Homo-oligomer: A and B are copies of this chain.
């Protein structure tokens, strides 16, 4: 028997990494929000690697933070180790990576949610969406509660018809033997959504007490205190190390001789796996010439002996997993606590979404996270945040917030998904971004804090601090541009000490700073600012000046593209009737329904020739009816 469970502005289905961001953002933007999840003991649960960040992903976490999301703050409070990767390389590839205390991460996030006004977290299994006249109006749970709302965000991760696979064993289940979500998957299909079957996998966990760490290499955290969030001021100082070891011939031999027992090769697994997070059996087969693979031993928390064996994701039978573990230096006597496994699940074809993450088919229905075909906590959180924001904006009758590819990795991620779709669990990589030098770890705040403030997720106080920082950077750059470093004994001595070649003539300070071996502190020694600048201001001044040329070039490209971005396309353009377009382009464009010429040009299967035809078509003004109510326009 159904009953009326109450009315909300926004309902979020799921409290994984996407769901928690969606719920928090929506509630903080003032929307009365209900968040439903299968198990309150597993809010923000990490079913796979206990870590946050890394290349591209780490930058997403910074972007989430700059927009007012939670992931950065939460991991800052609950990590066991923090490291900046690629510090030796250029600023575009630097990335922060934290090892999480898996349990604290969950509890801290849950606590934050529980204490957020306008937000109700409740255990419950959604089985059906309430759709009226093509608009999503709420959800129905297993217990018969009908919750009504103005918008719904679905973030069901790997739970939709989840199936755990391990050797020749397969059973219906969510991650780590949690309940799967079956009826909602059927409901989505019944509503006409195209679904695909994906899979992902996780490695075994072993007991730390049974590892001989002396045979491995230590990977300590950074000595410098680090944080993802621009708000963090308290740093965790007692870090735990991780450990590095390797597979070897023996490991590979065991895997090779047991491939016939691998569900990946026996045909038991139907879902498509992530190419960039391959299982160890996949790696051995695909890179058969590689003599060894890295294995990182990562603690799952401060108060547990469970250790995550990164690099050994597998769905081989349990006995093979154990045999293969024991060949690895340091793990000879290891005791396995949980076996690795693969999980198959239903995902939505993401080209069914607008860039706002609202579905094209059903109004006021948003989807975010692994359900959209991605993998990874950060990818999920980034989407969750955007879907939560856009659901709240929708409820407030405001235009959606859509990030460009040049604004943020989150923009790249969502544009890739809705424009190109994906035929495997999508993972964010630096190579997916065209403007890597713009989308840096260090400038996420400069790129996005204003947007976060506009929508109400960044407090006035934080915004004022941000503005101050921006002005300090601009001021110092201006000062240096006007400063000439004269030839002097002091200057020559300093340059010699770096070492850098001596000055022949007086030189503009910014020119000197562009020398690769010279950094801001050198220049500041020769021409100190009135008041010493904050470190992050110094960093910005240095990067912005040092890479000025490259940055300017990328900005130019962005400008060119922006022209294309301003050329809007009506959502109901009848591509099929545009005779000049190739048949593939007509079909793909009809499916994706790009909002701009630029997005159209990125649709896979659309050639530059097709783009020209479309440009001409639009410019010739053949298009008469321009739809003012283009709902998902930015």
Q: Which residues of A contact B (CB under 8 A)?
A: 1, 3-5, 38-42, 103, 107-108, 110-111, 114-115, 120-123, 142-145, 166-169, 171, 173, 176-179, 205, 207-209, 261, 303-306, 317-319, 335-339
Given contacts A176-B41, A177-B38, A339-B143, contact A209 B115 (CB under 8 A): yes
**B4, B122, B319: which contacts A5 (Cβ < 8 A)?**
B319
Question: Do residues A306 and B40 form an inter-chain contact, with CB atoms below 8 A?
Answer: yes
Question: Do residues B120 and A207 form an inter-chain contact, with CB atoms below 8 A?
Answer: yes
Question: Do residues A123 and B317 form an inter-chain contact, with CB atoms below 8 A?
Answer: no
Question: Do residues B177 and A39 form an inter-chain contact, with CB atoms below 8 A?
Answer: yes
Interface class of chain A by DSSP: mixed
CA distance A176 to B114 in the complex (A): 19
Residues of B within 8 A of A178 (CB): 177-178
Number of copies: 2
CA distance A202 to B233 in the complex (A): 42
Could you give 28 example pairs across A and B, Cβ below 8 Å? A1-B167, A3-B317, A3-B318, A3-B319, A40-B205, A41-B176, A103-B103, A103-B107, A107-B303, A108-B303, A110-B304, A111-B304, A111-B305, A114-B209, A114-B305, A120-B335, A122-B335, A122-B337, A122-B338, A123-B177, A123-B337, A142-B169, A143-B167, A143-B169, A143-B318, A143-B339, A144-B167, A145-B319
**B103, B145, B335, B338: which contacts A318 (Cβ < 8 A)?**
B145
| Minimum CB–CB distance for A263 against chain B, Å | 12
5 additional A-B pairs beyond A1-B168, A143-B339, beta carbons within 8 Å, are A3-B319, A39-B177, A41-B42, A123-B339, A178-B178
Question: Do residues A317 and B115 form an inter-chain contact, with CB atoms below 8 A?
Answer: no
CA distance A283 to B528 in the complex (A): 79
Question: Do residues A123 and B179 form an inter-chain contact, with CB atoms below 8 A?
Answer: no
Residues of B within 8 A of A207 (CB): 114, 120-121
Residues of B within 8 A of A305 (CB): 111, 114-115
Given contacts A103-B103, A169-B144, contact A114 B317 (CB under 8 A): no
Residue of B nearest to A6 (CB): B322
Residues of B within 8 A of A209 (CB): 114-115
Residues of B within 8 A of A114 (CB): 207-209, 304-306
| Minimum CB–CB distance for A331 against chain B, Å | 15
Residues of B within 8 A of A111 (CB): 303-305
The 9 closest A-B pairs by CB, nearest first: A114-B305, A3-B319, A123-B338, A143-B318, A177-B179, A107-B303, A120-B335, A111-B303, A143-B169
| Minimum CB–CB distance for A445 against chain B, Å | 29
| Minimum CB–CB distance for A26 against chain B, Å | 16
CA distance A167 to B143 in the complex (A): 8
Question: Do residues B317 and A144 form an inter-chain contact, with CB atoms below 8 A?
Answer: yes
Given contacts A166-B143, A304-B110, contact A317 B1 (CB under 8 A): yes
CA distance A4 to B3 in the complex (A): 52
Of A38, A123, A167, chain B has the most CB atoms within 10 Å of the CB of A123
| Minimum CB–CB distance for A190 against chain B, Å | 21
Residues of B within 8 A of A261 (CB): 1
| Minimum CB–CB distance for A33 against chain B, Å | 12
Residue of B nearest to A261 (CB): B1
| Minimum CB–CB distance for A207 against chain B, Å | 6
Question: Do residues B338 and A40 form an inter-chain contact, with CB atoms below 8 A?
Answer: yes
Residues of B within 8 A of A122 (CB): 335-338
Residues of B within 8 A of A38 (CB): 177
| Minimum CB–CB distance for A450 against chain B, Å | 32
| Minimum CB–CB distance for A578 against chain B, Å | 52
CA distance A307 to B368 in the complex (A): 30
Residue of B nearest to A123 (CB): B338
Residues of B within 8 A of A143 (CB): 166-167, 169, 317-318, 339
Residues of B within 8 A of A169 (CB): 142-144
Residues of B within 8 A of A5 (CB): 318-319
Residue of B nearest to A341 (CB): B143
Residues of B within 8 A of A40 (CB): 205, 306, 337-338
Residues of B within 8 A of A42 (CB): 41
